[in-house]
């Protein structure tokens, strides 16, 4: 029997991260789950166990470089990382505003949690993947990077930064057979989505050509593909999962 493959998912306690972890478990991966929410991590871990796979949890803040590095050191004791899904990130949420009213403190927070965490976690796995000449990195972007939603200038900048990082890292690692891709979701039914007022939900839905808000599992399917052997010749790409809101 071949050795188990390990996938790391950041932001794994809820929403897209949780759905991706469960899907990767179905694909045969053991899961290393990272998030600040210990309770949510336990729920995800139980779900992974229910799929017959192992799961380990680390309740750490991904913006804390020292804590994150410590978590990845412990993950390495279970075996090499085959897949990294850099899912953690968020917009300014209740602090979001039009740019002319925004504050640099908020920009720095959004860039840190939505871009720097992706770079930081990737830096921790790339040397091993490069040495083994194998690995998959999937980064979380957003269709906000393409559409440029009003009130989300900092988030759009961070998520377009993820795309630029994805492309540059993909080019560096391609000679070592390591792929780096991104997913860019649109309107997805997550906890943040549930906090929006009904009129906002209606406006979001009206902007989606397919006419509905998707589920976290819809993004998880895309992550599963990019992490699979079937995507071995796909690198440096961004797969939009947004019902056609942005078409290229």
Would you list the domain boundaries of the chain? Answer: 5-241
**pLDDT given at position 93:** 72
What's residue 195's pLDDT? 66
Average pLDDT for residues 230-247, to the nearest whole number?
Answer: 96
Write down the catalytic residue from 56, 58, 72, 155. 155
Crossing angle, helix 153-173 and helix 117-132, to 10 degrees? 10
Average confidence (pLDDT) over 81-101: 87
Please indicate whether residue 233 is annotated as part of the active site.
Answer: no
Residue % of the chain over a pLDDT of 70: 96
Helices (H), the chain: 15-26, 38-50, 65-76, 104-111, 117-132, 144-147, 153-173, 191-194, 198-206, 216-227
pLDDT value at position 200? 67
What string of DSSP letters covers 151-217?
A: T-HHHHHHHHHHHHHHHHHHHHHGGGTEEEEEEEE-SB-SHHHHTS-HHHHHHHHHT-TT-SPBPHH
Q: Is residue 35 within 8 Å of 8, Cβ to Cβ?
A: no
pLDDT at position 219, please?
Answer: 98
Question: pLDDT tens digits for 145-186?
Answer: 999 888 889 999 999 999 999 999 999 999 999 999 999 999
CATH for 5-241, options being 3.40.50.150, 3.20.20.80, 3.40.50.720, 3.40.50.2000:
3.40.50.720
**Confidence band, pLDDT 50/70/90 cuts, at residue 96:** confident
Under the banding of pLDDT at 50, 70 and 90, the label for residue 205 is: confident
User: pLDDT digit string (tens) for 132-154?
Assistant: 999 999 999 999 999 988 888 99
């Amino acid at each position: 029997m071949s050795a188990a493959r390990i996938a790391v998912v950041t932001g794994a306690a809820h929403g897209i991260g949780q759905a991706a972890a469960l899907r990767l478990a179905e694909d045969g991966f053991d899961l290393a789950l990272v998030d600040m929410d210990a309770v949510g991590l336990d729920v995800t871990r139980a779900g992974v166990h229910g799929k017959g796979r192992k799961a380990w949890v680390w309740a750490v803040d991904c913006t804390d470089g020292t804590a994150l590095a410590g978590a990845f050191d412990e993950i390495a004791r279970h075996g090499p990382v085959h897949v990294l899904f850099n899912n953690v990130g968020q917009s300014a949420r209740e602090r979001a505003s039009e740019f002319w009213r925004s504050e640099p403190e908020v920009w720095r927070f959004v860039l840190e949690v939505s871009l720097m965490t992706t770079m930081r976690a990737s830096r921790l796995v790339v040397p091993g993947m490069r040495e083994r000449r194998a690995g998959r990195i999937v980064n979380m972007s957003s269709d906000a990077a393409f559409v440029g939603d009003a009130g989300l200038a900092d988030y759009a900048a961070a998520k377009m930064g993820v795309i630029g990082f994805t492309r540059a890292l993909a080019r560096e690692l391609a000679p070592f057979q390591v792929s780096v891709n991104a997913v860019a979701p649109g309107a997805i039914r997550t906890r943040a989505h549930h906090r929006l007022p009904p009129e906002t939900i209606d406006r979001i839905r009206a902007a989606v050509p397919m006419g509905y808000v998707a589920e976290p599992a819809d993004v998880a399917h895309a992550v599963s593909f990019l992490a699979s052997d079937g995507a071995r010749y796909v690198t440096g790409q961004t797969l939009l999962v947004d019902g056609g809101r942005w078409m290229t």
